Chains A and B, each alone.
Chain A
Amino acid sequence: MIPELGHFSLIVALLLAVVQGTLPLVGAQTGNASLMAVARPAALGQLAFIGLAFASLAYAFLTNDFSVKNVASNSFSQLPPVYRLTATWGSHEGSMLLWVLMLAGWTAALTVLSRRLPAQTRARVLGVLGLVSVGFLAFVVATSNPFERLLPPPADGRDLNPLLQDAGMILHPPMLYMGYVGFSVSFAFALAALLDGRLDAAWARWARPWTTVAWVFLTVGIALGSWWAYRELGWGGWWFWDPTENASLMPWLAGTALIHSLAVAERRGQLLAWTLFLSIATFAMSLLGTFLIRSGVLSSVHAFANDPARGLFILALLAVVIGGSLLLYAWRFPRGGAPEAFGWVSRESLLVANNALLLAALATVMLGTLYPLFLDALGFGKVSVGPPYFDAVFVPLFAPLLFLVAVGPLTPWRQGSAATLAHRMRWAFVGALVLAVAVPLAQGDIRPLAALGVFLGAWILFGVVVGLAQAPSRGSGLRTLPRGYWGMQVAHAGLAVMVLGITLVSNYQSERDVRMDVGDHVDLAGHRFVFKGATGHPGPNYVADRATVEVTTPGGGSFVLYPEKRKYNATGAGMTEAAVRTGVLGDLYVSLGEHLGGKAWSVRVYHKPFVGWLWAGGALMALGGLLAASDRRYRRAPAPAEAPA
């Protein structure tokens, strides 16, 4: 009964989406207030019904209803309750349901938080979101019904993929989808402006906080995915340039360019047409990512089961949504205000450079990800494009960008002076150089790439310090600095921390791959690891061989790690659960290999210096974004007839 209720709710939601996607747009075009007012109840109704559908699926999982095919394929009676809940979005169908739920959530938030938008604009934004929702709900109902029954129901399920049975699974997909879907809001604002035929700084001001929050979620989602891979895959890697990862990186690069472009659009009323285009492009990247993951066009360890019918549907969705928007863009090519000049050295100029570099990086990632497809489609055979390629090309693209990150916030709008900047940053430069030599030296040896990475990270951090130190001299104390300013500095600092983490762990990690018998020890990075043997250890839905490893630190302290090798009851699938000791200066990572007979096991120990800075940096970036989005000026009612600041 409940699954059928869920299915029915989805269909009702689809109908409401159709209403939301048509009437308000007609109303905005004709100036009909009552049609425009339909948007709000339609959006809230959609959220209610999709929420009901989602709750039905979650209920089916929590109560082990194996007559629902999705539950039978992804759950198991012994699966701990929290993972039974997360299994709701562990499959293609379930994750699409999560997607439409998020979309309904963002739309509902917009209806509540956008009272100050002009009615016409609001109706158009909600109308566009309604149309997007129609597309995705139709996709779910037509090709990806999560409520399909399996009769007669099996006695038990096939269990959730062991790799997904982890804390990362609880948050990574929801955060990621909040980001992907959140960019549909800035997309809707862009289309509303094209339909309105009016584009000004006020539009940028409305769109900006929504876009920033979407970016925050995407950042968190990607960081969580990386952290989860690090802990779950057994050997401490954190980024593989896998097509699915690239599918999330592409909207992130576009979104980062967008939030910076919006800064110019909001503050100076410039680059409006470009920002509008970028809004469409960023959501296009979200949709492209969805297509790549679910169509089977690229092979990925992450991809869901492939179904050409689904691939075709999403491609059609992509074609209609983005093709339609780009047609609209070409037809109603927006004319922003009169272009104002700004200097070669100015905040605007540096933000344009930021966009140029980020888009070059985006184009590169897209090129590398899709190249195998391009060649194969043209009949030129198959090539593989993997980490060696991306690692080689990404650094030269990102290094100049990182250099500019320190300079940008210190550069005034309209016209700055290179000489003044150089003077202000002289100590930051020297300090960064010193650290670029000292830190690698402290780690072992000076490598060019390590020195470069440390220089850039330190350079940005010192730039933040310079910015904060010199702000009071401009007449306002630190405490009166607007949140937007703090957000920028914190986010940039987060980026620097991440760069430092990536640089140091990539260059200075070490490992030992040894055969250990009871009592044997191995030394790594000043720590001694003593193997105390392995014993059987049952888990809720698996049995494990759990090893005990005593670790002594150089300082004399000690702790114990318990790496496991698990075998899951439902499928017999095996998995290595590494034991990780996290520290500010680095992680110690122990992974159990094979049983070598008797009491001996093959064991891998890793030292990963500063790897935690990767995710700490990501968290800081997200915090910075939240600070920026919650700036008071977005919550204040705008003064009438507002000129670009």
Chain B
Amino acid sequence: MKRWLPFAAFTVLLAFLFAGLWLDPREVPSPFIGKPAPAFTLPVLERPGQTFSPAQARGEPWLLNVWAPWCRTCRKEHPFLMQLAASGVRLYGLNWQDQAREAAALLAEIGNPYVLNAVDQDGRAGIDWGVTGVPETFLIDADGVVRAKHSGPLSERVWNRKFAPLLQGKGS
């Protein structure tokens, strides 16, 4: 019997390695899934003098898209964000680490899909949300609970796979 042990053990290992090909070891899962969205109060880019907190977005599901003007990948997802906004998705932006303050000019040039942008100049709010880079997008439900997080640019495929099912389940 013990002659089969190595083969059996190897087969188990192979199964795990096979599964591993479909996983992304670099993705940092968010500990906030299923928990209330972390709070912050930040100035609004589009309306100087006003501030925004996540609590203000309650009532319907919404997205928080973390982006920066210097981020090239963010530009790649921008057309899709415009599409989302046009189709009625409530898209809020977190303007992250924009030291050069280029966000307003950039949005004026390429279009603004956001309901509004919260300006996180020093990145503190980003740290509170566990942001590891840009772009990242969070889905928060009507009660202010984080439901999903995606690291990397949003696309039709990612949307359909990760976010759309959750939105349908809640009957927006």
Known: A297-B20, A311-B21. A333 touches B7 (CB 8 A): no
**Which residue of the partner chain, among A315, A329, A370, contacts B3 with CB atoms under 8 Å?**
A329
Known: A373-B23, A376-B25. A323 touches B11 (CB 8 A): yes
Q: Which residues from chain B contact A382 at a C-beta distance below 8 Å?
A: 27-29
Q: Which residues from chain B contact A381 at a C-beta distance below 8 Å?
A: 29
Whether B6 sits at the interface, judged by CB under 8 Å, is yes
Bound: A333/B6 CA distance, A: 12
Known: A277-B6, A315-B14. A377 touches B29 (CB 8 A): no
CB nearest to B25 among chain A residues = A299
Known: A372-B25, A376-B25, A381-B29. A323 touches B14 (CB 8 A): yes
User: Whole-angstrom distance from the CB of B1 to the nearest CB of chain A?
Assistant: 10
Q: Which residues from chain B contact A277 at a C-beta distance below 8 Å?
A: 6
Contact B10–A297 (Cβ < 8 Å): no
Q: Which residues from chain A contact B16 at a C-beta distance below 8 Å?
A: 370, 373-374, 377
User: Whole-angstrom distance from the CB of A533 to the nearest CB of chain B?
Assistant: 30
Whether A326 sits at the interface, judged by CB under 8 Å, is yes
Contact A318–B14 (Cβ < 8 Å): yes
Q: Which residues from chain B contact A296 at a C-beta distance below 8 Å?
A: 21, 25
Whether B161 sits at the interface, judged by CB under 8 Å, is no
Q: Which residues from chain A contact B17 at a C-beta distance below 8 Å?
A: 291, 295, 297, 315, 318, 373
Contact A329–B20 (Cβ < 8 Å): no
Whether B100 sits at the interface, judged by CB under 8 Å, is no
Contact B3–A330 (Cβ < 8 Å): yes
User: Whole-angstrom distance from the CB of B4 to the nearest CB of chain A?
Assistant: 5
Write out, one digit per residue, whether chain B residues 50-84 have a CB within 8 A of any chain A CB (1) or not (0). 00000000000000000000000000000000000
User: Whole-angstrom distance from the CB of A401 to the nearest CB of chain B?
Assistant: 23
Bound: A277/B3 CA distance, A: 10
Whether A312 sits at the interface, judged by CB under 8 Å, is yes
Contact A377–B21 (Cβ < 8 Å): no
Known: A373-B16, A377-B20. A327 touches B25 (CB 8 A): no
Known: A315-B18, A373-B20. A298 touches B25 (CB 8 A): yes
Contact A297–B25 (Cβ < 8 Å): yes
Bound: A370/B18 CA distance, A: 13
Q: Which residues from chain A contact B29 at a C-beta distance below 8 Å?
A: 381-382
Q: Which residues from chain B contact A319 at a C-beta distance below 8 Å?
A: 14
Q: Which residues from chain B contact A311 at a C-beta distance below 8 Å?
A: 21
Bound: A245/B10 CA distance, A: 22
Whether B105 sits at the interface, judged by CB under 8 Å, is no
Contact A330–B23 (Cβ < 8 Å): no
Whether A322 sits at the interface, judged by CB under 8 Å, is yes
Whether B47 sits at the interface, judged by CB under 8 Å, is no
Q: Which residues from chain B contact A323 at a C-beta distance below 8 Å?
A: 7, 10-11, 14
Bound: A281/B17 CA distance, A: 17
Whether B26 sits at the interface, judged by CB under 8 Å, is yes
Contact B19–A377 (Cβ < 8 Å): yes
User: Whole-angstrom distance from the CB of A120 to the nearest CB of chain B?
Assistant: 24
Contact A330–B4 (Cβ < 8 Å): yes
Q: Which residues from chain B contact A237 at a C-beta distance below 8 Å?
A: none
CB nearest to A299 among chain B residues = B25
CB nearest to A311 among chain B residues = B21
Q: Which residues from chain A contact B7 at a C-beta distance below 8 Å?
A: 323, 326-327, 329-330
Write out, one digit per residue, whether chain A residues 293-328 have a CB within 8 A of any chain B CB (1) or not (0). 001111100000000100110010011001100110
Contact B10–A322 (Cβ < 8 Å): yes
Bound: A333/B1 CA distance, A: 10
Bound: A333/B3 CA distance, A: 7
Q: Which residues from chain A contact B26 at a C-beta distance below 8 Å?
A: 299
User: Whole-angstrom distance from the CB of B15 to the nearest CB of chain A?
Assistant: 8
Bound: A377/B27 CA distance, A: 13
User: Whole-angstrom distance from the CB of B24 to the nearest CB of chain A?
Assistant: 8
Bound: A315/B20 CA distance, A: 11
Q: Which residues from chain B contact A376 at a C-beta distance below 8 Å?
A: 20, 23, 25
Contact B10–A326 (Cβ < 8 Å): yes
Residue from A284, A296, A333 whose CB has the most chain B CB atoms within 10 Å: A296
CB nearest to A331 among chain B residues = B3
CB nearest to B29 among chain A residues = A382
Write out, one digit per residue, whether chain A residues 316-358 have a CB within 8 A of any chain B CB (1) or not (0). 0011001100110110010000000000000000000000000
Q: Which residues from chain A contact B10 at a C-beta distance below 8 Å?
A: 284, 322-323, 326
Q: Which residues from chain A contact B20 at a C-beta distance below 8 Å?
A: 295, 297-298, 373, 376-377
User: Whole-angstrom distance from the CB of B150 to the nearest CB of chain A?
Assistant: 15
Bound: A376/B27 CA distance, A: 11
Bound: A620/B14 CA distance, A: 37
Bound: A505/B10 CA distance, A: 38
Residue from B10, B14, B29 whose CB has the most chain A CB atoms within 10 Å: B10
Contact B21–A329 (Cβ < 8 Å): no
Bound: A330/B2 CA distance, A: 9
Known: A297-B17, A323-B14. A377 touches B6 (CB 8 A): no
Bound: A373/B3 CA distance, A: 27
Write out, one digit per residue, whether chain B residues 77-93 have a CB within 8 A of any chain A CB (1) or not (0). 00000000000000000
User: Whole-angstrom distance from the CB of B132 to the nearest CB of chain A?
Assistant: 12
Q: Which residues from chain A contact B22 at a C-beta distance below 8 Å?
A: 308
Bound: A268/B148 CA distance, A: 63
User: Whole-angstrom distance from the CB of B143 to the nearest CB of chain A?
Assistant: 24
Write out, one digit per residue, whether chain B residues 28-41 have a CB within 8 A of any chain A CB (1) or not (0). 11000000000000
Residue from B7, B17, B29 whose CB has the most chain A CB atoms within 10 Å: B17
Bound: A291/B7 CA distance, A: 18
Residue from B3, B16, B20, B23 whose CB has the most chain A CB atoms within 10 Å: B20
Contacts beyond the supplied A299-B26, A377-B16: 17 A-B pairs with Cβ under 8 Å: A277-B6, A299-B25, A308-B22, A315-B17, A318-B17, A323-B7, A323-B10, A327-B7, A329-B7, A330-B4, A372-B25, A373-B19, A374-B16, A376-B23, A376-B25, A382-B28, A382-B29
9 tightest CB-CB pairs across the interface, nearest first?
A377-B19, A297-B20, A326-B7, A299-B25, A333-B3, A330-B3, A373-B20, A299-B26, A326-B6
Cross-chain pairs A/B with CB under 8 angstroms, 30 sampled: A280-B6, A284-B10, A291-B17, A295-B20, A296-B21, A297-B20, A297-B23, A298-B20, A308-B21, A308-B22, A311-B21, A315-B18, A315-B21, A318-B14, A318-B17, A323-B11, A323-B14, A326-B7, A329-B3, A329-B6, A329-B7, A330-B4, A372-B25, A373-B16, A373-B17, A373-B20, A376-B25, A377-B16, A382-B28, A382-B29
